[in-house]
Amino acid sequence: MDKDFNELEKKLNIKFNDIELLRQAFVHRSYLNEHPTFELPHNERLEFLGDAVLELVVTENLYLNFPNPEGDLTNWRASLVNSKILSKIAEDIGMDDYLFLSKGESKDTGKARQYILANAIEALIGAIYLDSGWESAKSFINQFILCELEHILENKLYIDPKSSFQEAAQEKEGATPTYKVIKEFGPDHAKSFVVGVYLKNKLVAEGEGSSKQEAQEDAARKGLESHDWES
């Protein structure tokens, strides 16, 4: 069953000159493995282009609107263009309904789907840029992505919990935290990890995530909370 991309255009308030560019932005590589005669290529080249456009639009906006040092701007930009927030924005837009996925990929709703959605929104930006130019791509990014900046700054979501916990631990306890995997579970393609953060060999908190890095960040966040070091 084909997808009604005219409805998506209305939702995005964009009219494509070449609707096939819009459709291509949603074609995942896995779909072509099952449909080798499909008329469009996958979206990875569009994603490559859209990633660069997104980064430049966000960088320009931060540079022009904030006098903060380069380190702050880098952290803010990273918090705006990471896969977690991009996939959330893609879900809010309803992009999930338009993806061309293999049967296997369409059943996966975990971390893998998050990356697919994040890549698709970058591919969509690439398609908008090719079809309508810089200003249209910029307008889309302002409307759907840069609008998240206020929430990120208010809630300090740009702060890396591992760095914050390490700084606080060294200042208040004279100790550097260490991390250890306590448990791994789940199939190879969708593993989960439980990681402990330790101070002076004492377990402070445990965190869980779909990667060791994610679990470490969760443990550090919980360590900050348990010690009331969040401020």
Q: How many helices (H) and strands (E) does the chain have?
A: 12, 3
Burial class (CB in 10 A: 0-12, 13-18, 19+), 220: buried
Q: Is the entire prediction scored with pTM above 0.85?
A: no
Query: What is the rounded CA–CA span in Å between residue 195 and residue 172?
Result: 23
Of 225, 214, 215, 210, the closest CA to residue 165 belongs to 225
CATH 1.10.1520.10 residue window(s) in the chain: 5-154
Q: Which residues of the chain register pLDDT less than 70?
A: 1-2, 230-231
pLDDT given for residue 155 in this prediction: 82
pLDDT given for residue 219 in this prediction: 95
pLDDT given for residue 107 in this prediction: 83
CATH superfamily of 5-154: Ribonuclease III domain (1.10.1520.10)
* Cα maximum dimension of the chain: 63
pLDDT given for residue 213 in this prediction: 87
pLDDT digits (tens, 9 = 90+) for 122-158: 999 999 999 999 999 999 999 999 999 999 999 888 8
Query: What is the rounded CA–CA span in Å between residue 129 and residue 80?
Result: 19
Of 141, 99, 130, the closest CA to residue 8 belongs to 99
CATH 3.30.160.20 residue window(s) in the chain: 161-226
Two structure tokens written together for 76? 């803010």
Please confirm, yes or no, whether 51 is among the known catalytic residues: yes
Please confirm, yes or no, whether 96 is among the known catalytic residues: no
| Catalytic residue selected from 105, 122, 131, 218 | 122
- Angle between helix axes 44-65 and 134-144 (nearest 10 degrees) is 70
pLDDT given for residue 104 in this prediction: 86
pLDDT digits (tens, 9 = 90+) for 153-186: 998 888 888 888 998 999 999 999 999 999 999 8
Query: What is the rounded CA–CA span in Å between residue 210 and residue 114?
Result: 12
In the CATH hierarchy, which fold is given to the domain comprising 161-226? Double Stranded RNA Binding Domain (3.30.160)
